[in-house]
Structure formats: C-alpha cells, structure tokens
Structure 1
Amino acid sequence: MPPIDQWVAFEPLAGSPVAIAALLLAALYLRGAIWMWRHGRRWAIARTASFLIGCALIFAVTTFGVNRLATESITALVFQQITLLTVVPPLLIAGSPGRLLLRSTPHTGLGRLVLRAAHAGLRSPFWSAALHPVVAIVTAMLLYPVLYLTDAISVVMRVPFGHDALLFVVLVLGVVAATPLWSSDPLPRVPSFAARFVDIAVEIQIHAVFGLILLRTSTPLFSAYANPAGGHDPILDQAIAGALVWTYAELPLFVVLIVCLSRWRAREVRTSRQRQKVEDAELDSYNEYLASLSRGRNRS
C-alpha cells in the first residue's frame, strides 16, 4: 500500500469534478441556512454542520492524494467508494436539505420553478420506486460483488473519465439508498421499519462476504491493479481493501441498524400507549354505563 503521506497530500489539480459539485452544494446550503437566520427563522446549527461535514468529506476524498492513488491502489479506490457510498450520505441527509429547500426558496421568479420541481418530485412515481428498500440492496450488489468480482472495475478505471463517473454514480446511488433509512424530510415513499431492518441486514451480509473474498484470495482479482506503478504488493493491497470493507464499511450500517431498531421500538411503545388509552377510555365508559344501570335499579 502507498505511504500515508501520499494519501493526505493536497493535490487540487488531481481533483474530481465531484469535488467541485461538493463545493457548490455547500455554498447553496449555506445560502439557504443564512437566509433562514436573517429572516428570524429557526434552522439547527447541527443540521448545517452535518451537511457541511459531508461536503467536506466529498471534497477531501476526491481531491487529496487518495484520488490519484485510486488509479494504482485498490485500497484507495475502496476507501473512496466506502466514504461516498456509506459515510457521506447519512451526513448529507441528516442536514435535511429538502426541508431547507422548501423553507428558504422564494415563491417568486426562479424560486417558484424550483419549488414546483420539488413538489413534483414528491409526487413522482419514479422517485417513489427509487426509494424502495430493494433499491439499496441492488445498489450494494452492483457496487461491490458485481463491479469488482467480474473485474468490471478494471474496465471502468481504464476508460477516460471512468474514475470520475464512478465516483459520481457511487455518491448518487449512496444518497438514494440511504434516504429511506435516514431522512426526516417529506418523501414520496416511507418504508416500514421491518423493510428497513431487512434492507440493512442484507447489506451487512453483502459487505461481509465481499470483504472476506478480498481478505482470503491469494491471487490478484483486478487486472488494472495486478502490476501497480508504485511497486507495492497487490495481494496485500487487496487484503487491506477487504479489511476496510469489514470495518469502515460496516460501521455506518451497524449505526443505522441501532437507530432503526430504537425508532421501531419507540413507535411500538407510543402505539401501545395510545391503544392503552383508548382501551382505558372504553373501559371507563363501560363502567359508567354499568353504574348508571345500577343507579336506575336503585331508584325503582
């Protein structure tokens, strides 16, 4: 694996267009947050910080030395992919960009068109289908076992701008897959907690199997990385990538699993209390009815 100083070296000329997109997103979000604060409307600083940290991570993994090393080290590429697929999306989604868009966009001029597009998206069958829990499972399959174990990743990395396109696709699919699990914004589809639990459990298994294959395989799996320019051991590089999948990629999934289970339990407790209140009210009403009957017999 390349030395750590090469990973953190700032190389703006080696940056991806995704890094520019991250700066643009951060600027647009800050504009909306500042507009809310100037007009005396509440907008949580924690949400703002979460979104900006997500944008900063996008910029870092697509601009620093790791972006250049991703063309010669599978560990660097997997690190980029895990960050954009599983670490960044929850941070962006926790910032509630959709809610900020609806609250801070003016209702005149261009703002009206933006709001119409946003409301159309909420009613769109396409986005409703895209937010189905199965999409997250399919995304994990395509971006790990299918992309890597067929060595399609070597083809992608050899195509001009293939690396940049891969980073963009990974980020978009990561956000789409994570939205039903993390979002508190209005959505065209809200999956059940049972569906979310199954989704997370399957994704964890996909990561575990893929990471184990990388760790245990004693021959190079990827032709584009079989003879690295840096002269490092491709088998060791491959094994380290597998260790990243087992640890770095799994941790966010375990976090969202805990969050999902806690929210599920909280909803069940709330529903149980509401049901108990209704049953208690019905019982009180019935007891009052029996008491009125008893008073009637006593009068007679």
Structure 2
Amino acid sequence: MAIAYAAGVTRLRRQRRHWPPLRTAWFLLGCGMLAAVTGTRIDAYGQLMFSVLMFQQLALMMVIAPLLALGSPGTLLLRATPRHGAGRAVLRVAVSGLRSRAARFALHPALVIPLMLLCFFGLYVGGAADALLQVDAGHILMEAAFLLVGLLITVPLVSSDPLPRRPSYPGRLLDIFLEMQVHAAFGLVMLFSSAPFVRHFATSAPAEWRVDPVHDQGVAGVLAWTFGELPLVTMLVVTLARWQRRDRSRAGAQQRRADQETEAYNAYLAQLRQRDLRGDGDPEA
C-alpha cells in the first residue's frame, strides 16, 4: 500500500500537481504501524495472550484505520490514475464502486453499533474467537476484519475522500458517543469477570510465563476502556472543530452575500438620487 501510494504522489509531482504532504505522512505512518502490529513478534504474542490481541485489535481499528483514512487514498487514486489503458478500467471500477448501493450500505451510520458489538461482545463473549484462534489463518482473518471494520467506522468520520454518503455533524457526534459506550461496557465486563471468556487464552501461554488468564483478561478490558477511548476523544475534538469551521465559513459567506446585496441596493439608491437631482435642475422637468 505504501509503495502504491508513493507512486501516486510521485506521478502527481511529475505533473506539477500539488498533493498535501501531511496526507502522505498520515498514510505512510499508518502503513508503518500496520507492519509493526501485524508483522513483528507482537503478532506471535497476540496468539498467546488476550491483552496483546486486544492491543492489536484496538490499534488496527482505532489508530491505523483513521491514519489510512486521513491519507485520502481514494482522492489520490482518482487524481493520479491515468485516463487511458488499464488506468481507465481502474477508474471505472473505482467510480462504480463509489456509486454502488453496497458502498452506501456499508457506510451507513446505522451499521456502526452492530459492527462494534460484533467485534467485541460477539467475538469474545459469543465464543467466535475460540474457533478462529485454533488456526493461524483464523488469527490473520481476525486482523483483517479488525482493520476493515475500523475503516468502515472511521472513514465517514475523518476522511476527506468523496463518499457515497457523509453523515451530518450531529450524526457523527452521536456515533462517536455510542462507540465510547461500547468500549466502556466491554472493558468493564472484561475487567470484573471472574472467569476467562476466551478459553483459548486459558492454556495458550507457556507455563513458565505464569500468566493468570483472568488477570490478563482484565488488562485487555482496561485497554479497551482506555486505549480504545483516546482515539475516539480525538475524533470527537476534530469533529467539533470541523463543525465550527464549517459554520464559520458558511456565516462568512452569508455575510459577504449580505454585504454585496447591501452595496448593490445602496448603489441603486444613489442612481435614483442622481436622477432626481438631474430632474430638479432641468427647466423642462
């Protein structure tokens, strides 16, 4: 992903077209963190300890996904892809997908809470994690699902890309608030539980590590409550700032239009006054 993104930025620069460096920094940072979370020893520990797996999940959903979205890869794709040859086919697929009903459905605000509940309570309390963690492919599938769900949740909140639907600012604030409640509820359930929910982690760690699965599950709950909340608080602040900036921009535009209308009306009155003065000075008037 990093190579493809860098190639797109390079193409725009060769065409002397501007691309914000901050977007590039966000996206490449997200790619670097993705490699670190899934391609280092962290990934191996994530198959042995619940707390490490929870750290992976939260990093993929709440940190890496927003960083990738802030890089605006969709906009870069539309701007940098050639309009001929294979590039033309790529653009057709991208635009068709953007306008599809599936895309509108996937980004619908009503899906946020079901997805969050599925990723936390359905996966761990419901027992799906036990079945998936028995094989390496299941662990990889979980990581891919965490990243995908994170993108579906955060893209409507922070992305500047063209989207088939974009929720209102009050709707975004409601989504963020509800997500925070899911994190808090799941964290409390994990923290105060007296028995492990995921049986896989009861025996996965080596005996010499002396890992208490209940305590480790409590650590996972604390991570869900704290580490999972911090990115949401950041999104909340950013959403409020963008909302205020949009209102200021609209208010400024309305004021400029009002000033223009006032100036035009004053000019019209001045023309009428001049006509009246000319009429008063004319003997035949």
Q: Same fold (TM over 0.5)?
A: yes
- Map 1:265-276; keep pairs closer than 5 Å: 265-276=244-255
User: Which residue does the alignment assign to 1:92?
Assistant: 68
Deviations 1:108-148 (A, max 9, x none): 21111001111112211110121112222222111012211
From 171, 174, 177, give the equivalent of 2:147: 171
Deviations 1:245-290 (A, max 9, x none): 1121111111010010111112222223333444555566677778
From 223, 228, 234, give the equivalent of 2:213: 234
CA distance in 1, matches of 2:14, 2:253: 40
**1:192 alignment partner AA:** S
CA distance in 1, matches of 2:181, 2:153: 16
Retained in 2: the 8 A contact 1:85–1:174? yes
- Map 1:187-202; keep pairs closer than 5 Å: 187-202=163-178
Deviations 1:38-95 (A, max 9, x none): 3322223222221111111111111211211112200111111111111001111111
Structure 1: gaps of 5 or more residues = 1-24
- Map 1:30-49; keep pairs closer than 5 Å: 30-49=6-25
User: Which residue does the alignment assign to 1:252?
Assistant: 231
User: Which residue does the alignment assign to 1:5?
Assistant: none
User: Which residue does the alignment assign to 2:121?
Assistant: 145
- Does residue 196 of structure 2 align to residue 220 of structure 1? yes
Structure 2: gaps of 5 or more residues = none
User: Which residue does the alignment assign to 2:187?
Assistant: 211
**1:54 alignment partner AA:** G
Stretch of structure 1 that moved more, 278-287 or 64-73 = 278-287
| SS in structure 1 at match of 2:206 | coil
From 99, 105, 108, give the equivalent of 1:129: 105
Deviations 1:168-221 (A, max 9, x none): 111112112211111111111111111111110100110011111111112212
Stretch of structure 1 that moved more, 33-42 or 160-169 = 33-42
| SS in structure 2 at match of 1:226 | helix
CA distance in 2, matches of 1:180, 1:268: 19
Retained in 2: the 8 A contact 1:136–1:178? no
User: Which residue does the alignment assign to 1:108?
Assistant: 84
* Percent of aligned pairs sharing the same letter: 42
CA distance in 2, matches of 1:190, 1:174: 16
RMSD: 2.3
**1:45 alignment partner AA:** P
From 55, 62, 67, give the equivalent of 1:79: 55
User: Which residue does the alignment assign to 1:21?
Assistant: none
Aligned-residue offset at 1:160: 5.4
Retained in 2: the 8 A contact 1:220–1:235? yes
Aligned-residue offset at 1:236: 1.4
**1:55 alignment partner AA:** C
Q: Judging changes above 3 Å, is the alpha-carbon distance between structure 1 residues 32 and 283 closer, same or farther for their aligned structure 2 residues? A: closer
User: Which residue does the alignment assign to 2:94?
Assistant: 118
**1:198 alignment partner AA:** L
User: Which residue does the alignment assign to 2:28?
Assistant: 52
CA distance in 2, matches of 1:279, 1:45: 37
From 154, 177, 180, give the equivalent of 2:156: 180
In our comparison, the structure showing a higher alpha carbon Rg is 2
CA distance in 1, matches of 2:112, 2:225: 18
**2:106 alignment partner AA:** A
Stretch of structure 1 that moved more, 25-34 or 198-207 = 25-34
**1:249 alignment partner AA:** G
**2:96 alignment partner AA:** A
Q: Judging changes above 3 Å, is the alpha-carbon distance between structure 1 residues 108 and 284 closer, same or farther for their aligned structure 2 residues? A: closer
